Structure 1
């Protein structure tokens, strides 16, 4: 005989309770999976800043402060200013000690250095940012690119000092004359600050300005460029030519060569534009 009364009247409420309990148990099991679907936070690359000739790492101070407030890890690297090959090798050693993606920023001759240092490091260096900088191709030198276009008055403002190395080799360091430093390099920087910069300027080896680049990382790594229209070191025409050739995302600003000091907010803005593309 079929039993048609397996569930007695009145007990269906108990059955509903069991069903609800099972549903809650399943919900409890699936909660951790839902928790794992947390919002994606954008990658914060390390920003590595490379200064150029006649400056030092302190020239980035205003930019560093703003980037740090925005939550970016920052390294303001020292640049030996001895030549593109040796300076790039030094910078690569710095990059080798940084975990995660990097946005590499170069000012002036520092652009020559980052172009060579980043070549072959596309898995680490995700963007290049050139601030009033050189973007040389293979076989080009800083002085050659400067002389390619009219407008630079650097040759009239510098002096060289000979030095002797321990092995007897001789060389020459190039400085901007202190009395010409502000007008040549930092015309839109307050006078007292410009005097401090002149006193602490880092010289560049004369040979470094003549040494030809052997790599051009901007050919394979996305690039940004800030062109300074009141620049007396690198002619604005040269900056525009190099930026266009590299297909760099280019911003133009009315500023002196020392734009990282006089306009740190503008420099920070373009660095952050590059950093936000890192995934």
Structure 2
């Protein structure tokens, strides 16, 4: 518990960028909450978590750390920074130490996402290349943003940022949810991450769980007020 008002740090997931938080940011700012949306590199779990952790460490005062989708794994690692006082998982993974996202997903039936991924090659230095993934534009609305207008879904598909394929085999070395209070929002109609995966992580973490019936994976875009309410609850608890 801190007397200072926490800063909310938002971390976007795969196939998105920080603009995916626009509606949530507006809701939080109008409520007087200090908020920062960082650019998640999407290059690898350890590297992404180290980058986010470095940003958090340079913020004065307590931080409530929020992750969507793949960024749940990122905040699970980065959330061990000393000034993090709460974690919010938005339709997100919450892996344990030594548990890759692939291993976590394999506990439950797969979603349709895997059948609609495109593979790209990208340079990683030294003449080497790596594989990155994006969602096929024609399937993006159905799989990721089913409760978003078709026009907005097309924009989201066109602006998506690919994710390094290696993140699905890379395992976290720590799990911040073991020592930080956590909140988990489950998007009931999520077709990118099986909602059972999210519920499992919430139960294991002893998190406060909020179910949003009919919400797609893009719940931060389609239901920003609902997402902001969960974040404000975490902020209020940390004050």
Please state which band the TM-score falls in when normalised by the shorter chain.
over 0.9
Q: 1:249 aligns with which of 208, 223, 231?
A: 208
Q: CA deviation at 1:142?
A: 1.6
Instruction: Please give the secondary structure, in 2, of the residue aligned with 1:252.
Output: strand
2:4 corresponding residue in structure 1 = 43
Matched, 1:81 2:47: no
Distance 2:103 2:140 in 1: 22
Matched, 1:103 2:64: yes
Q: Which runs of 5+ in 1 are unaligned?
A: 1-41
The superposition leaves residues 230-275 of structure 1 with CA deviations (integer Å, 9 ceiling, x where unpaired) of: 1111111111111000000000002000000000011000000000
The superposition leaves residues 81-106 of structure 1 with CA deviations (integer Å, 9 ceiling, x where unpaired) of: 11111001000111122101100000
Paired residue total: 237
Q: CA deviation at 1:151?
A: 4.4
Q: 1:140 aligns with which of 79, 89, 99?
A: 99
Q: Is the 8 A contact 2:187 2:217 kept in 1?
A: yes
Computing the radius of gyration from Cα coordinates, the structure with the larger value is: 1
1:22 corresponding residue in structure 2 = none
Q: 2:224 aligns with which of 246, 264, 269?
A: 264
Q: 1:63 aligns with which of 24, 36, 43?
A: 24
Distance 2:132 2:165 in 1: 6
The superposition leaves residues 113-172 of structure 1 with CA deviations (integer Å, 9 ceiling, x where unpaired) of: 0010112x2x41110000000000011112222222014111111110112334111101
TM-score (norm 1): 0.83
Instruction: Please give the secondary structure, in 2, of the residue aligned with 1:87.
Output: helix
Q: CA deviation at 1:208?
A: 1.3
1:278 corresponding residue in structure 2 = 238
1:182 corresponding residue in structure 2 = 141
2:87 corresponding residue in structure 1 = 128
Distance 1:128 1:166 in 2: 34
Higher strand share: 2
Q: Which runs of 5+ in 2 are unaligned?
A: none
Q: Which structure has more RCO (C-alpha within 8 Å, separation ≥ 6)? A: 2
Distance 1:147 1:153 in 2: 14
Distance 2:94 2:13 in 1: 13
Alignment of 1:139-218 (within 5 A): 139-218=98-177
TM-score (norm 2): 0.96
Instruction: Please give the secondary structure, in 2, of the residue aligned with 1:207.
Output: helix
